[in-house]
Chain A
Amino acid sequence: METKPQQPAQRHGSEYQAAGQFSPDAVAASMQRNDGGFGRGQDTYYDHPVLRKAHWRWEIVAYFFVGGASAASAALASIAHLFGDPDDEALVRNGRYAALAGSAISSVLLVKDLGRPERFLNMLRIFKLKSPMSVGVYALMTFATTSGFAALEQARADGVIGADPFGWVPRRPRVAAHAVSAAFMACYTGVLLSATAIPVWYRGRRHVPAIFVLSGAATGCALQNALIALFGGSPRTSKKLETIELLAALAEAALLWDYERAAGDPGKALFAGERGRKLKTYTLGLGIAVPTLLSLPSVLSKKRPEKPHRLRTLLTAACALIGGYVLRECVVYAGRDSADDPRAYLRHPE
Chain B
Amino acid sequence: MSEMGFFTDVTLCIGCKACEVACKQWNQLPSDGFALSGDSYDNTGRLSSTTWRHVAFVEQMDRETPAASRWMMMSDVCKHCTNAGCFEACPTGAIVRNEFGDVYVQPDVCNGCGYCVPSCPFGVVAVQQSSGVAQKCTLCYDRQKDGLEPACAKSCPTDSITFGPVEELRAKAEARVEALRSQGREAHLYGVDGEETRDVGPLNAFFLIPDRPEVFNLPPKPVLPSKFQPEAYAVGLLAAMTMTVVGISVFRGFREGSA
**A residues apposed to B, CB below 8 Å:** 10-17, 21-22, 26-27, 30-31, 34, 37-40, 42-46, 48-56, 72, 75-76, 79-80, 83-85, 88, 113-117, 119-120, 122-123, 125-126, 128, 130-134, 136-137, 179, 183-184, 186-188, 190-192, 194-198, 201-202, 205-210, 212-214, 217, 236, 239-240, 243-244, 247-248, 251, 302, 304-305, 335, 339, 342, 345-346, 349-350
Contact = CB atoms under 8 A, between A and B. Distances in A.
Contacts of B48: 12
B246 interface: yes
20 contacts: A13-B31, A16-B43, A39-B60, A44-B217, A45-B217, A52-B126, A122-B109, A125-B92, A128-B91, A130-B88, A131-B90, A183-B244, A184-B237, A187-B233, A188-B236, A196-B119, A197-B223, A210-B239, A243-B250, A304-B259
Contact of A75 (B58, B214, B247): B247
Give the most central of B39, B40, B133, B241: most A CB within 10 Å.
B39
Contacts of B51: 12
B240 A197 contact: no
Given A40-B62, A75-B243, A236-B254, 15 more contacts: A14-B32, A17-B34, A38-B60, A45-B56, A46-B39, A115-B112, A122-B92, A123-B91, A126-B91, A126-B93, A197-B121, A198-B118, A217-B243, A240-B250, A349-B221
A84 B253 CA distance: 10
B201 interface: no
A179 to B, nearest CB: 7
Contacts of B239: 187, 209-210, 213-214, 251
A194 B246 CA distance: 25
Given A80-B251, A116-B112, A131-B89, A195 B61 contact: no
Contacts of A49: 46, 123
B169 to A, nearest CB: 24
A343 to B, nearest CB: 9
B183 interface: no
B157 interface: no
B114 interface: yes
Interface residues of B, number: 90
A120 B44 CA distance: 33
A244 B244 CA distance: 10
Interface of B: 31-40, 43-46, 48, 51, 56, 58-63, 85, 88-94, 109-115, 117-127, 131-134, 211, 214-223, 225-226, 228-229, 231-233, 235-244, 246-248, 250-252, 254-255, 259
Contacts of B46: 10, 12, 48-49
A13 B32 contact: yes
B252 A83 contact: yes
Contact of B254 (A34, A240, A247): A240
Given A76-B247, A214-B239, A130 B229 contact: yes
Contact of A38 (B63, B229, B233): B63
B225 to A, nearest CB: 5
A21 B35 CA distance: 9
A221 to B, nearest CB: 9
Contact of B232 (A209, A305, A349): A209
A214 B237 CA distance: 11
A131 B45 contact: no
A115 B240 CA distance: 31
A133 B118 contact: no
Contacts of A119: 92, 109-112
A52 B60 contact: no
A183 B211 CA distance: 49
A123 B111 contact: yes
